[in-house]
Amino acid sequence: MSEKRPEKSSLIHKILRNNLLIIGFFVVLIWTYATVSLCYNTYHKEMEKHETAVNEYADLARETISTAITHSEHIVRSNYISENLNRTDLSVTEMLEFFDHSEEILSPISGVYGTVRIFHTNDRLYEARRFSHLDNLRDKSEICKQLNFTKSAIIVVKDTSSPYTSNVIMYRQIQDEPLCILEYPIILDGLFPSAYPVSVVSPHTTQTNENNYFYAPISNDLTCVMEIPEKEVKKVVLSVFLMCLLILLFIGVLILQISRRTAKKTIREINQFMENLAGETLLYDDKFFHTTYDLYELNIIKKTLQKLALEVQHYAEAIKNAELENKELEMELLSMQLDPHMLYNSLAAIRLDAYQVQHQKIIDLIDNMVLYYRNILKKDRKFISVEQEMESIRKYLYINELSHEKKYPLEVQIAESLTNMKIPPQILHTFVENCIVHGLSGNQKDCLIRIRMSEADGFVITEIFDNGYGISHEMLTKLNSGSLGGRHIGVSNALKRLKLIYGEESSIHFDSEKNAYTKVTIRFPRLDDKEQ
C-alpha cells in the first residue's frame, strides 16, 4: 500500500496557501485603501452637512431680519405715531387714546416677533407697554453710538437679556429730533431643527477654539456659530469603518472557505492520482487510463504516462521478440556448427594426396581454405582489426578464383588511421560474399570489387562496390526499407549487429543500377577502444 501523504505537506496545498496569502494581502491592501477613502469622504460629508446647516440658518436669519425691517417701515411711515409721539399738550384722555390706537398698529407685529417698543424723549408721555423713555433703553449710549455710524439708521444686535437663545433685537431710528428709537425683537429660535445647535453671536465674540466651530455671517453685526459635533461625526465615521471591517472579515472568511474546499478537492484528486500511479500494475490498469480528472494538468500527465506505458510495453515486447530471435539464431548456428578437427583432418588428407601427385593448384586451394576457416571458426572473438577482416576477405576471394576459374580483382582504399580499428568479425565479409554470389556470378567478365573506408564527423563510412549485374528497383527498395526475405538473412543480421553494437545511428544503404554496378554504404560511429 502506498503511504498517504498529509495534505499540509502537499505541494499544491503550499501553492494554494501562498497564493491565498498573496491574494489576501492585496485584498486587505485594496480594502484598507477603500475603507480609508470611504471614512475620509464620510467625515467630509458630515462636516459639509453641518457647514451647510449653518449657512442655511444664516440665510433664514437674514430673511427673517429682512422681513422685520420691511414691517418696521409701516411704523416709521405712520404719521399718527410720529405726530403724537412728540406732542407735549396731550391730555390724559388723548394720551390713552394714543396708546390704544398705537397698540392696534403694533400688536400684529408683536404677535409674530415679540413686544415691539418705542423709546422717546417726551417727558410728558406716561410709561406704557409700547412706549418708554429713552433713558430706560438698555445700553442706550452704545446703541445710539452705533446708530450714528450707520447710514440706514438700523442696527441688529444680539439679545443680551437672553444669553442662551439666538434671538436678536433690531433698533431703528424713527426720527432725529427729538430722538426716537424703535426696539424690534426678532425671535430666531426654532428656525432650524434642534439637531443642529446654532447660535447667533457678535462677530467680535471669540470662541475658546475657533477651529471647532462653523461660522456664517448674517450681517456686519451678527454671525451664526455652530460647534462642530466631533463626537457625532466620529461615531458616523466609526460606524462606516466597522461596517467595512465586517465586510472585509466576511470576504476573508469566504475566500478562505472557497480556497480550502478547492485545495481539499484538488489534493484529494492528486493523492488518488499518485496512489494509482504508484500501483505495480500500472501498465495493465485500464481503469487508471480511462479515469477523467478535473485538473487539466493531471489529464496531460495521464496521457503522457499512457503513451509512455505503451512505449514501454512495445519495448518489452520487442526485447522479448529479440530474445526469441537470438535463441532461434543460436539454434541455427548450433545446427550448422562444424567440428573444426574433422574439417582440418579432411583437408589435410586431400592436401597429402595432391602433394603426392604434385598438383600445386589443389595444394594452394587447400592451404587457403585451412587459413580461411581457421580464421572464421575462432571462438570468443567479438572484435577483430580491419586488417584482419581484409586478410580474411582476400583468402575468400582467392578460394573463389580457384573454384570459379576467373579473377576477382580487389581494390582497397583504407585510411591509415582505420587500419587497426576494431570491428565485428565478418561484418564486411557478408557484403563481399554477396558481390560474388549475386553480382559477379555466372559469365560476368572483367569483374571488379572495390572497398573504401574513411572517417568523417566521428563516423566510419565503408563503401563496397562491384561492377556486376546490379539490383532491380523492387529489390533495392526492400533492401533499403529493411523488409527483407529469408535468403537475405545475412544482410538483416549484419544490420542488427551494427545497431546492437553502435546504436541506432548505424545504417546500411544500397545503391545500384541494373547491369552496371552495386554499391553498399555502411555507416557507424567510431568507438574508442575502451568502449569495445
Q: For residue 181, which of 128, 121, 222 has the smallest C-alpha distance?
A: 121
Contacts of 354 (CB under 8 A, 6+ apart): 362, 363, 366
Residue of higher predicted confidence among 293 and 320 = 320
Q: Within this chain, do residues 189 and 298 fall inside the same structural domain, yes or no?
A: no
Q: Express each pLDDT in 243-297 by its tens digit.
A: 888 888 888 888 778 777 776 776 676 666 666 666 555 555 555 556 665 556 6
Percent of the chain with pLDDT over 90: 6
**What band does 338 get if pLDDT is binned at 50, 70 and 90?**
very low
Q: Within this chain, do residues 22 and 120 fall inside the same structural domain, yes or no?
A: yes
Residue 371 within a domain: no
Residue 368 within a domain: no
State which of 334, 363, 394 marks the end of a domain. Answer: 334
Mean pLDDT estimate for the chain:
77
The pLDDT of residue 3: 47
Q: Within this chain, do residues 441 and 519 fall inside the same structural domain, yes or no?
A: yes
Q: Express each pLDDT in 132-155 by its tens digit.
A: 888 888 888 888 888 887 777 888
Instruction: Summarize the confidence of residues 46-60 as an average pLDDT.
Output: 84
Q: Within this chain, do residues 181 and 291 fall inside the same structural domain, yes or no?
A: no
State which of 205, 231, 257 marks the end of a domain. Answer: 231
pLDDT above 50 for 5: no
Q: Within this chain, do residues 191 and 102 fall inside the same structural domain, yes or no?
A: yes
Residue 259 within a domain: no
Q: Within this chain, do residues 126 and 54 fall inside the same structural domain, yes or no?
A: yes
Q: For residue 268, which of 301, 293, 299, 242 has the smallest C-alpha distance?
A: 293
User: CB of 291 within 8 A of CB of 279?
Assistant: no
Q: Within this chain, do residues 289 and 226 fall inside the same structural domain, yes or no?
A: no
Percent of the chain with pLDDT over 70: 72
Residue 412 within a domain: yes
Residue 149 within a domain: yes
What's at 382, amino acid-wise?
A: K
pLDDT above 70 for 195: no
Q: Within this chain, do residues 98 and 211 fall inside the same structural domain, yes or no?
A: yes
CATH number at residue 454: 3.30.565.10
Q: Within this chain, do residues 227 and 295 fall inside the same structural domain, yes or no?
A: no
What's at 371, amino acid-wise?
A: L
The pLDDT of residue 336: 46
The cell numbers describing 278, all together, are 504508484
Name the range with the highest mean pLDDT among 230-244, 394-408, 411-425, 470-484.
411-425
Minimum mean pLDDT range among 201-215, 307-321, 411-425: 201-215
pLDDT above 90 for 451: yes
Q: Within this chain, do residues 320 and 458 fall inside the same structural domain, yes or no?
A: no
User: CB of 91 within 8 A of CB of 252?
Assistant: no
SS3 397: helix
Residue 521 within a domain: yes
Contacts of 7 (CB under 8 A, 6+ apart): 13, 263, 264, 267
In angstroms, the Cα distances linking 405 to 373, 400, 521 are: 21, 8, 29
Domain membership of residue 43 as a residue range: 12-231
pLDDT above 70 for 18: yes
Residue 446 within a domain: yes
Domain count, the chain: 3
**What band does 459 get if pLDDT is binned at 50, 70 and 90?**
very high
Alpha helices (H) in 357-450, listed in sequence order: 360-376, 386-404, 429-434
pLDDT above 80 for 412: yes
Q: Within this chain, do residues 316 and 417 fall inside the same structural domain, yes or no?
A: no
Q: Within this chain, do residues 304 and 451 fall inside the same structural domain, yes or no?
A: no
Residue 489 within a domain: yes
Alpha helices (H) in 156-295, listed in sequence order: 230-277, 286-290
State which of 231, 255, 273 marks the end of a domain. Answer: 231
The pLDDT of residue 335: 45
